[in-house]
Amino acid sequence: MSKPNLAPLPEELLHSIVESLAFQSVPPDSEFPEFELRHVSSELLSISLTTKQLRRICLPLLFGYTILRDPELINIDRSMWKLTKMLSLYGFSSSKDQSLLSELLPRLSALVWIDLRGIRSPSAEFLNALQKQKPMVKLLARHISVLPKTFHLKASQIVLLELDCCEGNNSWRENWLAQGMSAIQVRTLLSHCLEANFGHREVFHALQRIVLEMRSVPFTLSPWLSQVAVDYPLLFQVKLVCPQLLSGPSGYIPYDYSSVLSYFVNNLPRERIDGFHIDSIIVSRMREGSTHVHTLSHLLHPLQTWHVTEVRIRLKPSATSALSLSLIKMLLLINKSCPDLDTLAINLQPDELYEYDPNELVSVLGSFHSLQTIHLAHLAIIGEEVELPYPRTAGYGKTTLDMLGAKANSKFHLFLSNLSSSIPSLRVLYLKERECRVDGGMYVRWELSGWIDICEGGWNLTDRFEVRAFH
């Protein structure tokens, strides 16, 4: 069969085709997908070897995202540096190594971003050289604490992925913010964010996400979010983190969640769910053109452009036999309160064999019509059926699904098939299971974890899915 000839196509169309195939998908657990390093796809590598024209089109994409781990590699291929737009650095802990980076800067003619998340302590000398030679390049750092106290880089060049304000006021931090440093995500205590000085446009530049640590402070989301959403037009996500136990057998929640999970809060007392914990809730700004706007009046009134997109729960029933009822009640309440949920995470106590019906779980999950991502941890979906031939040598032994045994493999396939067909919107599933046994006087354990792609009623294991056994 002859290969298709792309040469007659207009170059603009060739660019579009190549760009659509250029990179692997961003990992589903990426916290900041817009700043994720893009890895080239095998398709791009193949296309780049076909013709001179396609090679020329592919080269900026092949070398646009570059990871540099070894200083000795700086001078190996000089041609690629002029195509690099984002340079991610790992290691480079010594001043000598960072001086080599300063020498590399003049060759990075297309550079837009330098990612410092892999460097523990960038030197002031390197940052000064960056400001002098590349005054328009943006510097990406995880936290402000990795930066030296004194350097000459312009504040507007610095972009922090997360700014932790939980420790309270910090004059050094506030000074950099006032001068133009950007923070993509701000983590703060709820008590701090309720203060009058929080919510000023000139302080948190380019703010997109806020993480609120609740810590037993009475709180009503709607009035606060109404003002913050106006102050920060780029803000699209607020995450409520709940580090303390929100409930027990009595079902009492000490925070005012009525504006976030109205149906859940109003109906929880009569359900008496045994031993649950809401780890976090994410509220997101509705995208333009969404079909769900009309359903929001009972969620965040009057903030009808915001809705709950993620809920993470943890259950620890007092008895293993109580899981089924508690889990189903919990999911039904969440579904009624959050009909537009994108992500749902369920985490059970590890190393416990809970009694419940996986088919009933799939049936309830099927009522979430907009779910795209599901996390299931320690639900022992296949645990009782595993007949793994445990390794007799010390350490790990990576296995395949077939080595779990025929019954476990069959049950695994059936569960995934039922889940993918029950939730048409589902795109990815994270599954984690583990079990410990004593076999012939030997302590052994198997673990199964990773991401599974869901597509058109079927599923595929990703390269980030694995099964391991060890003793």
CA 13, distance to chain mean position in Å, is: 32
pLDDT band at 112; cut points 50, 70, 90:
very high
Above 70 in pLDDT, residue 391? no
pLDDT digits (tens, 9 = 90+) for 358-370: 888 899 999 998 9
pLDDT digits (tens, 9 = 90+) for 289-340: 544 443 333 334 445 578 889 999 888 766 655 567 778 888 888 888 888 8
Above 80 in pLDDT, residue 415? yes
pLDDT on residue 88: 92
Residue 315 burial (10 A CB sphere; 0-12, 13-18, 19+): buried
Q: What is the C-alpha separation between 134 and 299, in angstroms, rounded?
A: 47
pTM: 0.81
pLDDT band at 388; cut points 50, 70, 90:
low
pLDDT on residue 1: 44
Above 70 in pLDDT, residue 6? no
DSSP 27: P
DSSP 325: H
Residues 6+ apart with CB under 8 A from 150: 124
Residues 6+ apart with CB under 8 A from 61: 18, 19, 22, 23, 40, 44
pLDDT digits (tens, 9 = 90+) for 29-56: 788 888 888 888 888 999 999 889 999 9
Above 60 in pLDDT, residue 432? yes
What six digits make up the tokens of 62?
A: 């092949």
pLDDT digits (tens, 9 = 90+) for 262-289: 677 777 766 677 677 788 889 898 765 5
Residue 169 burial (10 A CB sphere; 0-12, 13-18, 19+): exposed
More confident residue, 393 or 224: 224
CB 327 within 8 A of CB 356: yes
- Phi, psi for residue 338 in degrees, rounded to 5: -130, 75
Type and span of the H or E element at 199: none
Q: How many CB atoms lie within 10 A of CB 115?
A: 24
Residues 6+ apart with CB under 8 A from 33: 26
Residues 6+ apart with CB under 8 A from 267: 333, 336
More confident residue, 89 or 384: 89
pLDDT band at 200; cut points 50, 70, 90:
low
pLDDT band at 138; cut points 50, 70, 90:
very high
Above 60 in pLDDT, residue 258? no
Q: What is the C-alpha separation between 108 and 101, in angstroms, rounded?
A: 11
Region 139-143: mean pLDDT is 90
More confident residue, 191 or 284: 284
Torsional class of 251: left (φ above 0), alpha (ψ -120 to 50), beta (otherwise):
left
Above 70 in pLDDT, residue 217? no
Region 164-181: mean pLDDT is 76
pLDDT on residue 439: 62
With CA atoms as reference, report the closest residue to 23 among 48, 40, 42, 44: 40
Region 155-178: mean pLDDT is 79
Q: What is the C-alpha separation between 86 and 370, in angstroms, rounded?
A: 34
pLDDT band at 449; cut points 50, 70, 90:
confident
Q: How many CB atoms lie within 10 A of CB 314?
A: 18
Region 101-123: mean pLDDT is 89
Annotated domain spans of the chain: 1-25+33-62, 242-348, 381-471
With CA atoms as reference, report the closest residue to 452 among 441, 440, 461: 461
DSSP 16: H
Above 90 in pLDDT, residue 345? yes
pLDDT digits (tens, 9 = 90+) for 10-33: 888 999 999 998 988 887 778 888
pLDDT on residue 292: 44
Q: What is the C-alpha separation between 269 and 250, in angstroms, rounded?
A: 7
More confident residue, 259 or 77: 77
CB 404 within 8 A of CB 386: yes
pLDDT on residue 296: 37
pLDDT band at 401; cut points 50, 70, 90:
confident
3-class SS string, 32-86? CHHHCCCCECHHHHHHCCCCHHHHHHHHHHHCCEEEECCHHHCCCCCHHHHHCCE
